[in-house]
Structure 1
Amino acid sequence: MKLEEVMQELEALGKERSKKMYQSNGAHEPLFGVATGAMKPLFRTIKLNQPLAEELYATGNYDAMYFAGIIAEPKAMTAEDFERWIDGAYFYMLSDFVVAVTLSESDIAQEVSDKWITSGIDLKMSAGWSCYCWLLGNRPDREFSEEKLAAMLELVKNTIHDAPDRTKYSMNNFIYTVAVSYQPLHEKAVETANEVGPVEVNQGTAKSKFIHAAVNIQTAVDKGRTGFKRKHVRC
Structure 2
Amino acid sequence: MSTLKQVMTELKKKGNAQTRKTYARHGMPEDTFGVKIADLKLIAKKIKGNQALACELYETGNYDAMYLAGIVADGSQMTKKQLESWAKTATCATLSEYTVPGVASENPHAQALAMKWIRSKTESIASSGWNTYAGIIATTPDEDLDLEEIKSLLDRVAREVHQAPNKVRYTMNGFVIAVGSYVKPLLKKAKQVAKKVGVVPVDMGDTACKVPQALTYIEKIESAGRVGKKRKTIKC
Could you state the TM-score of these two structures normalised by the residue count of structure 1? 0.92
- Matched residue, 1:130: 131
- Matched residue, 1:198: 199
Q: What residue identity is the alignment partner of 2:13?
A: A
Q: Deviations over 1:105-158 (max 9, x none)?
A: 111111111100001211111111101112211221122111111111011111
Supply the distance in 1 between the matched residues of 2:4 and 2:91 (Cα, whole angstroms).
22
Deviation at 1:211, TM superposition (A): 5.0
Deviation at 1:210, TM superposition (A): 6.6
Contact 2:17-2:34 within 8 A present in 1 as well: yes
2:201 is paired with a residue whose SS is strand
Structure 1 stretch displaced more, 9-18 or 180-189: 9-18
1:77 aligns with 2:78: yes
Matches within 5 A, 1:24-43: 24-43=25-44
Contact 2:158-2:196 within 8 A present in 1 as well: yes
Contact 1:200-1:211 within 8 A present in 2 as well: no
Supply the distance in 1 between the matched residues of 2:105 and 2:115 (Cα, whole angstroms).
12
Contact 1:18-1:34 within 8 A present in 2 as well: yes
Could you state the TM-score of these two structures normalised by the residue count of structure 2? 0.92
Supply the distance in 1 between the matched residues of 2:235 and 2:29 (Cα, whole angstroms).
23
Supply the distance in 2 between the matched residues of 1:79 and 1:6 (Cα, whole angstroms).
26
Supply the distance in 1 between the matched residues of 2:189 and 2:80 (Cα, whole angstroms).
31
1:160 aligns with 2:161: yes
Structure 1: any 5+ residue segments left out of the alignment? none
Matches within 5 A, 1:64-213: 64-202=65-203, 212-213=213-214
Contact 2:87-2:100 within 8 A present in 1 as well: yes
Deviation at 1:223, TM superposition (A): 2.6
Structure 1 stretch displaced more, 118-127 or 219-228: 219-228
Q: Deviations over 1:8-52 (max 9, x none)?
A: 111122233322221111112211111222122322221122221
2:231 is paired with a residue whose SS is coil
**Two-structure CA RMSD over aligned residues (Å):** 2.1
Q: Deviations over 1:175-223 (max 9, x none)?
A: 11101100110000001111111122239x9x9x875211211222233
- Matched residue, 1:221: 222
Supply the distance in 1 between the matched residues of 2:112 and 2:144 (Cα, whole angstroms).
13
- Matched residue, 1:56: 57
- Matched residue, 2:3: 2
Query: Which fold has the larger relative contact order, with Cα–Cα distance below 8 Å and residues 6 or more apart in sequence?
Result: 2
Identity %: 38
Structure 2: any 5+ residue segments left out of the alignment? none
How many correspondences in the alignment?
234
Contact 2:41-2:68 within 8 A present in 1 as well: no
